[in-house]
Amino acid sequence: MIEDIKKDAKTRMSKALDALGTNFNKIRTGRAHPSILDGIRVSYYGSDTPLSQLANVNVEDARTLSVTPWEKNLVPEIEKAIMKSDLGLNPSTAGAVIRIPMPMLTEETRKNFIREAKGEAETARVSIRNIRRDALAEVKALVKEKEISEDEERRAADEIQKITDKFVADVDQALAAKEKDLMEI
């Protein structure tokens, strides 16, 4: 029973860490990376559709992304969606290919992105702590039902705390890597 609770907590905490990685990918650095455009949705026949389902996004060089729509009539819609996004990107169109140069990050924008990254990391930490709380509540319920002893409860709580500490350390490590990436010129 306790093993199942710990396994479930580990699984849920790793999902929180994966979500943090996804959120970090949306925070742009100075380099071009296709995941920067993951949050962009384009109006396609009346419904908002993710850009990745309407076009091919490639890295041309370190500072340029190219977007090749599968339908030529989507070029203006995609361009409009990229300009409306809060990424601060200015696409330029050459025929059916949209090129997006990545502007240099100023000190102020770097600090804003770091602040955003710290917020995402704190959200992940809170999520991990909530999972710990849920796991400890399940263990307490087992004690209440007299399925395990109080000694087993203490041992399980210590093990759950160790798992939590490991995942919080992973979040801190990911945040440090993202900060380093953002401060690179």
Question: In this predicted model, what pLDDT tens digit does every residue of 82-97 receive, in sequence order?
Answer: 888 877 778 888 888 8
One domain, residues 113 and 72: no
One domain, residues 80 and 127: no
One domain, residues 38 and 74: yes
Confidence (pTM): 0.72
Distant-in-sequence, close-in-space partners of 172: CB < 8 Å, separation ≥ 6: 121
Q: Which of 101, 133, 151 is the last residue of a domain?
A: 101
One domain, residues 123 and 161: yes
Q: d(Cα 56, Cα 31) in Å, to the nearest integer?
A: 18
pLDDT at residue 28, rounded to an integer: 66
Q: Exposed e or buried b for every residue in 109-148, given b needs 16+ CB within 10 A?
A: ebeebbebbeebbeebbebbeebbeebbebbeebeeeeeb
CATH number at residue 65: 3.30.1360.40
pLDDT at residue 185, rounded to an integer: 61
One domain, residues 121 and 74: no
Give tens-digit pLDDT for 42-82: 888 888 888 888 888 888 887 888 888 888 888 888 888 88
One domain, residues 112 and 21: yes
> H/E element holding 57?
strand 55-61
Residue 93 CA: distances (Å) to CA of 39, 65, 82, 99, 109: 20, 12, 12, 6, 26
pLDDT tier at 170, thresholds 50, 70, 90: very high
One domain, residues 73 and 16: no
Instruction: Report the percent of the chain where pLDDT is more than 90.
Output: 30
One domain, residues 73 and 142: no
Lowest mean pLDDT across 92-101, 158-167, 171-180: 92-101
Q: Do 65 and 58 touch, CB atoms closer than 8 A?
A: yes
pLDDT at residue 122, rounded to an integer: 95
One domain, residues 178 and 133: yes
One domain, residues 79 and 114: no
Nearest to 2 by CA among 142, 121, 151: 142
One domain, residues 81 and 139: no
One domain, residues 17 and 75: no
Give tens-digit pLDDT for 96-106: 888 888 877 77
Instruction: Report the percent of the chain where pLDDT is more than 70.
Output: 98
Which residue range is the domain that position 138 belongs to? 2-26+106-183
Task: Give the total number of structural domains in the chain.
Answer: 2
Q: Which of 101, 125, 143 is the last residue of a domain?
A: 101
Distant-in-sequence, close-in-space partners of 2: CB < 8 Å, separation ≥ 6: 139, 142, 148, 152, 156, 159
CATH number at residue 166: 1.10.132.20
Q: Which of 101, 117, 145 is the last residue of a domain?
A: 101
